[in-house]
Structure 1
């Protein structure tokens, strides 16, 4: 599995965990939804499940469930600030298209 975190994404995950008051890390999942078929979901996680993979960088932990791995293998998770907006961004080589709003994506299966 080749999923990676940028330095900015790792720092933001650490800030979010600190703001929350603790936790193991953040779970990245792919769910059927949105205009293009799939949507990324990020939620705090306190416990690991069987089959979870953990990506660590600079103290940040990104947890990925086995069911999401085929959709995001090779993805680089980043974090960008543009003006007042800030968001996690996903450079996913498996995504063949994204919707206009940028919230969902499709893949070839």
Structure 2
């Protein structure tokens, strides 16, 4: 399981986690949503769940649930600021297409 944080995302994650002293790290995964099928979920990990894959980068732990692992493996997470908007940006080699609104993505079922 390989998840990478770009420098901007790593800095944002550190600030995010510093505000939650009970945080173990970030929880990253997917949920069924939108018109294409999958949407990303980023939250604070407060507990380790059975089946979690855990990676660590420069002191930030990333917890990925068992269902999400194959879908997000190899993803690079970045953080972008455009004017007043701020968002995590995902570069996922498993994403085959995204919906027009950008809310969700699909994967190649043959992989």
TM score, norm. by length of structure 2: 0.88
How is 1:47-66 mapped onto 2 (pairs within 5 angstroms)?
Answer: 47-66=47-66
**Cα distance in 1 between the residues matched to 2:48 and 2:20:** 18
Superposition CA RMSD, Å = 1.4
Given that 1:7 and 1:58 are in contact with CA atoms closer than 8 Å, whether structure 2 keeps it comes out as no
Residue 2 of structure 2 corresponds to which residue in structure 1? 2
- Counting matched residue pairs gives 109
Please state if 1:72 is matched with 2:72: yes
Q: Deviations 1:27-62 (Å, cap 9, x if unpaired)?
A: 111111112111111121111112212222222221
Residue 98 of structure 2 corresponds to which residue in structure 1? 98
Which shifted more, 18-27 or 78-87? 18-27
1:2, distance to aligned residue in structure 2 (A): 2.4
Given that 2:53 and 2:65 are in contact with CA atoms closer than 8 Å, whether structure 1 keeps it comes out as yes
Gaps of 5+ in 1: none
Residue 11 of structure 1 corresponds to which residue in structure 2? 11
Gaps of 5+ in 2: none
Residue 89 of structure 2 corresponds to which residue in structure 1? 89
Given that 1:75 and 1:90 are in contact with CA atoms closer than 8 Å, whether structure 2 keeps it comes out as yes
**Cα distance in 2 between the residues matched to 1:58 and 1:19:** 18
TM score, norm. by length of structure 1: 0.90
**Cα distance in 2 between the residues matched to 1:29 and 1:21:** 22
Aligned-partner SS, 1:20: coil
